[in-house]
Amino acid sequence: MKIHDVNPNEYGTYQYNYIKLVSDEYTLVEELEISLHRFIKFVQDIPMDKFDYSYTEGKWTIKDIIQHIIDAERVFAYRALRFARNDSTELPGYEEDDFAKYANGSRRSIMELLNEMSAVRYATLSLFKSFDAEQLSRIGIASNNPMSVRAAGFFIIGHQNHHQQVFSERYL
């Protein structure tokens, strides 16, 4: 299954900005794996003095953003799990600024962050590999918006791609 298989009714309007950043070249599982390696290589090429840099007052550092990507992946994988298991409970949103404030991402080493990101992604990969076609197409409600299991997976990738673009445009 590729991104072109996901219909606009499977995710909220705001999520389109992330979904559109996913390549149609690979399947969901392939892209989850490839995008991790692409991101790690990208981050390893960032000069060390940039990891604690913020382009303006009040903006997150690169380390904070990597922690945010990790946290968001956990949230969206959890949503995917709930919906895949046919849980019809509407799930609340989460306050990303509060997560960032209390995550202490900027206090961690870049190696710690990349190791955690890898561990989370491998868990996400295992989860998505366990889903069959019916589970991937199930839709639940999160943050007052519809979300299919497969859209949650593609959102994880698109969200990461978005922040990688932000790094290039505003931090480097």
pLDDT for the residue numbered 32: 98
pLDDT for the residue numbered 47: 96
Q: What domains can you pick out in the chain, each with its CATH number?
A: 3-44+58-171 (1.20.120.450)
Between CA 25 and CA 3 the distance in angstroms is: 9
pTM of the model: 0.96
Residues 6+ apart with CB under 8 A from 59: none
At 61, give phi and psi (nearest 5°). Answer: -85, 170
pLDDT for the residue numbered 98: 92
Dihedral sign of CA atoms 91, 95, 96, 100 in order: negative
Between CA 42 and CA 92 the distance in angstroms is: 33
Q: What is the pLDDT of residues 86-106, one digit of tens each?
A: 999 999 999 999 999 999 999
pLDDT for the residue numbered 48: 95
pLDDT for the residue numbered 79: 98
**pLDDT beneath 50, residues of the chain:** none
pLDDT for the residue numbered 36: 97
